[in-house]
Amino acid sequence: MLIEVIPSGPFETNAYIAACSETRKAAIIDPGVESVQAITHFVKDNDLKPVIVLLTHSHWDHIGDVAAIKREYQIPVCIHPLDVKNLENPGSDRLPMMMEIEGVKPDKLLKEGDEVDVGNLHFKVIHTPGHTPGGICFYEKDHNTLFSGDTLFQGSIGNLSFPTADPSKMWGSLDKLAKLPSETAVFPGHGPSTTIGAEPWLPEAKKIFGYA
């Protein structure tokens, strides 16, 4: 698997290109604000064929260039049903936006246990509510790789004070991720990559983050 990270926008939000090395088919994950130019350049320079947009959640900094990417490649946009409203009408989640974001109607809704095939890559959908109601992670078992959105960062978790966040749901989501193999590489929505094994605090997250 070929993975390219593209930090962009005011919060250095990580957009990802995850491509099958054999078929050159690629998923574009969370194309955030000001990411489209870097994405298109990388796709062209590496002879990739984008086939799908995967969204971990609908916060504006993660969906800022979804409309532009969809127009550029004419590919489907996928998200969990509980985050559809804010994708279609950015800002409806009452999270203040620093700029106007174009809404997008999703083409496919993803739920727990669904599998998305991208060439020879197979991404399993893990529903991880907490940061948002429809937060999801994408797990590629054969390559021990997880795209965690804003559920899990290196040494931290997604903000639980936002209007649609629900701390009570986050702990179960983190428990799911803690059960993945320790060698699983984690590519988060912000900051550097990590591994599940490098985050041994996961089972104690509720106590660590002050909600005990």
- Number of domains making up the chain: 1
Q: How many other CB atoms sit within 10 Å of the CB of residue 16?
A: 24
pLDDT in tens, 4-17: 999 999 999 999 99
What is the per-residue pLDDT for 133?
98
Q: Nearest 10 degrees: CA dihedral of 116, 117, 118, 120?
A: 150
pLDDT in tens, 80-134: 999 999 999 999 999 999 889 999 999 999 999 999 999 999 999 999 999 999 9
What is the per-residue pLDDT for 181?
98
Specify the 3-state DSSP secondary structure of 81. Answer: helix
pLDDT in tens, 41-90: 999 999 999 999 999 999 999 999 999 999 999 999 999 999 999 999 99
Output the domain CATH number for residue 95. Answer: 3.60.15.10
Domain range for 55: 2-208
The answer to whether the pTM exceeds 0.95 is yes
